Amino acid sequence: MPKFDKLTRREFLAAASVTAVAAAAGERTGPGPAPLVAMPNRSAPLLELSAVQAVRSMAAGEMSAERYAQALLARCAEQKVLNAFITLEPDRVLEDARAADRRRAAGAALGALHGLPIPVKDSLNTRDYPTTAGTPALRRFRPQQNAPLVEALVNAGAIVLGKTNLHELSYGWTSNNLAFGAVRNPYDPARIPGGSSGGTAAAVASRMAPLGVAEDTEGSIRVPAALCGIAGFRPTTGRYSTEGAVPISSLFDQAGPHARTVADLALFDSVAAGDHRAVAPASLKGVRLAVARGYFFAGLDAQVERLAEAALAKLRGAGAEIVEADVPELEQLIDLITDQVQNHDVRIELPRYLEAYHAGVRFEDVVAQASADIRATFERYVLPGGSDFVPEATYRAAVDVHLPKLKRIFRDYFARTGAAAMVFPATMVTAPRIGEDVELRVRGQSVRFDVAVARNIAPGSTAGLPGLVLPAGIADDGLPVALEFDGPAASDRALLALGLAVEGVLGPIAPPRAR
């Protein structure tokens, strides 16, 4: 680990100035009150900067990219207990930061992400780092080129801040990775951060970076964002390239960002989608938000329900109209589509990926060398002969009949309600303890783990809708609770504008305690 120089007076003042100006303008600088006082580390002002603020400061010459990278790397070292990274190479990051500083000094045109270190989920191809997908067989796999999404970020001036830990092969919601170690929740290291993008969420929540790359097939952006108290955005399926990403199903797979502010999500979206339309806070006065209680609010943990209802009351107080309307046939259709498609497609698409990117291992090798929990899952659900193997007729019905029907129902739902978005608690519970991944007790009732964490997020990703997760409060157990806002397909920039307004109404939550 390199030596990290002390924060210069000029850089301290620049960072403090950016934070103060943003606060005066009503811009959220991250969850947590008075960050300059709350954190004793002299790099604290830099750690609390949003991505928008950090890029602005570096582009203006108020802070060097090298100094900013040093501050984030020092934080990564301090928070190593969270096990957020599989691969982290400080010397490479610092050299890339120096190169960014040289470009600015030479008067070169600077990209929208100039000098910004961004952690990348270790399921997206990176030329300079291994791409393990969190599984032993790919431990030494080094792709020849960046995934197009990563390349777009780098071309905009970003620096890859290592590869983040994840649920092995993205096949789960805990990020309790038996091969590379469990990722831990910054609010309570005994608890899961959610999955599968738990490493990125933990890194962003604990101030290792303001913005990170995650990926979502069935909740893998949104569950970690919810359980770690940050913002997460799953765009409309297909909005960003998923080429060069370790796949489950191309029908559902979608990369997206984790951040602590909606403005940073919008910045990421503008680069990833090439969509530079302005995003400004939408007025909530008269905005219709749909609530489907029959599905999304049933059986919630009492604390989750309390904070969700309090958040809805705040939105009503800001002028939003809450429209109560259930989604017909939702539970039945999710049961007929979601798992069937993923468990069918992974056995076809993962071998294609391994061959296309010259991984040097076969699909059979990946399964054989996988950790015991993943191997058992594949043997039961994915491989021929398994007790829950998906027959071709079942798959074809899911894709050709039930999925089009689900998408049509959501189109009709938004048209009928006039809602800009649906709103609901992202998960039924706060973050469970590591190892509590089979059954949970919710209000005295036994609830399957996958239901508690994934029931509410499954419809949006199955239907391909854009989904935005925002913190709603802190429960009595000290853990975050979040709301999800799902908009109509292709309403991504409008949903982000709505999120800017909602963020201002809900306000910040307390950050994780420094450890």
Neighbours of 1 (CB within 10 A): 10
Alpha-carbon torsion (273, 276, 280, 286), positive or negative: negative
What 3-state DSSP class applies to 469?
strand
Catalytic residue, chosen from 220, 241, 250, 491, is: 220
* Gyration radius (Cα) of the chain, Å: 21
Neighbours of 4 (CB within 10 A): 18
Q: Is 446 a catalytic residue?
A: no
Q: Measuring CA to CA, which residue among 204, 218, 209 is closest to residue 43? A: 209
Walk across the sheet containing 254-259 and list its strands: 85-87, 159-164, 117-121, 211-216, 254-259, 231-234, 467-474, 480-486, 421-425, 288-291, 321-324
Q: Is 121 a catalytic residue?
A: yes
Catalytic residue, chosen from 50, 64, 196, 250, is: 196
Q: Measuring CA to CA, which residue among 156, 285, 256, 261 is closest to residue 207? A: 261
CA separation for the pair 264, 202 (Å, rounded): 17
Q: Is 6 a catalytic residue?
A: no
Please list, residue by residue across 411-446, b when 16 or more beta carbons sit within 10 angstroms of its beta carbon and e when fewer do: eebbeebebbbbbbbbbbbbbbebebbeebebeeee
For the chain, the distance separating the N- and C-terminal CA atoms, rounded to the nearest angstrom, is 19
| Kind plus residue range of the DSSP H or E element containing 366 | helix 363-369
Is 465:256 a contact under the CB 8 Å cutoff? Answer: no
Catalytic residue, chosen from 50, 121, 197, 371, is: 121
Catalytic residues: 121, 196, 220
